[in-house]
Structure 1
Amino acid sequence: MTKLSHRYICIMAASCLLLITSVASGEERIWKVASLEWNPYSGSLLEGHGRSVEKLSELLARKNIRLEIEFFPWKRAQSLAKTDEYIGYYPAWPSEVNPGFIASPPIDTSVIAIMKRKDFPLSFTSIDNLFNNYRIGVVSTYVYPGEIDTAIGRYSHHVVLAKDEDILFRMLIGNRTDVAITDPKVMNYIAQKQSNLIETHSILQSEDLVIALRESPETAHRIKIIKQLLSNK
């Protein structure tokens, strides 16, 4: 082998190594996530794309990772997140982390509450009692946690399904449902000028908001990064 050939091979090897390092580094600098319009937590027209997205973006920026987020109807966001283009979808309740995905450490929190019209008398002793005696409005694309999801299945004849929270709000004020179960911040954001018509009757539980990370060779490393960033806050 001539000195020229040997030098050429060394240069090519170094170039390949640099390319591999650059690609890996590039993947770490950009995390692309699918999301939904869920104001004020996430939204394409909100400043910072919403409080939860902004919180995640600021967290990752401390590691020189840029968050790219695209907005879709919720089921489509979850479907697209299965592809290599995205690392997952966010924000999600842990109950909404589908098979093939792993929940990140909590990034933010959400509250699930019973919303009602201000002029509607409501009295119940348990979730079962609530679902048994009233028309319950829920968002059809959400996977509600634990006891709520069980009651939705058990009392399906009393459950009114809405495609999204905008429709759920219209159902509630239009007397097509007695109560709505959702996050009160989301419902009040939608209500805005009509917020005097509804109120939060009671908070059922608090839920973490996580990234549903698509299972891949990089997932464990991404979870490690998030844990490190959260522990250093």
Structure 2
Amino acid sequence: MQVRVYDDGAERDCLFVLGWGNRCRHENVQWLVDRVAERYRVHAVELPTHITDVRQEWVTPVREYAEDLDEFALLAHSAGGLTTAHADFDGVTNRVYLSPWWGSDFPLPDPVVDAIASLPVSKPFIPTGGLEAEAIGNLATAAQLADGPDAASPAFLRTTRRAHATLPPARENAVAFCTLTDEVVDPRAIGARLSADRIRLYDGGHELFSSSSRDRHVDTVLDALTDGPAAL
């Protein structure tokens, strides 16, 4: 896990946990970091890509890092949303999730997915599909797409499916932004955990910050970090 701190003198902290394969060097990630840094000291967390245990390699390191923060707002995208949904933090004010990965809609039957996930293999060889820019967001860059993971391991599939199945109830201070046409995560899983008044829909791809509708929603994202569900 890598953490980059963006400190422009803000008094408040924001822990921003990125999604699977997101990196701070990506132009669109940096766009969102820059906007959040107008109000917060941003702690941007890059999750390791190829893992075999969500709790040990994602949840625990993020929770331990947050122990050194006092009061802070939480912003999490995709796999960051899966990670932080499992984490109990002291001092977190509001939780804002961007397309949280709370469930997947696999094109294969469940018995097939279960069989693949049961293989005792930790080497990535299962193709992730090579998503086009429109699936990520119409502003996605070639470099960003090239950096995206192109394969996953049965061990990764097994641990993330277990993490989906054992999600705790959503916290009262949580809101989510998502698109109903998401091809990466299952938006139905978001609707199953949060009521409609705590969800803000947008038009675009999986990454709000890589979609051209981002300018219409970013202020609401920032307000939700400060005011929670009342901002929606």
Class of the TM-score when normalised by the shorter of the 2 chains: 0.3 to 0.5
Between Structure 1 and Structure 2, the one with more helix by share is 1
| TM-score, with length taken from structure 2 | 0.37
Between Structure 1 and Structure 2, the one with more strand by share is 1
Which structure would you say has the larger RCO, counting Cα contacts within 8 Å and 6 or more residues apart?
1
Which has more radius of gyration?
Answer: 1
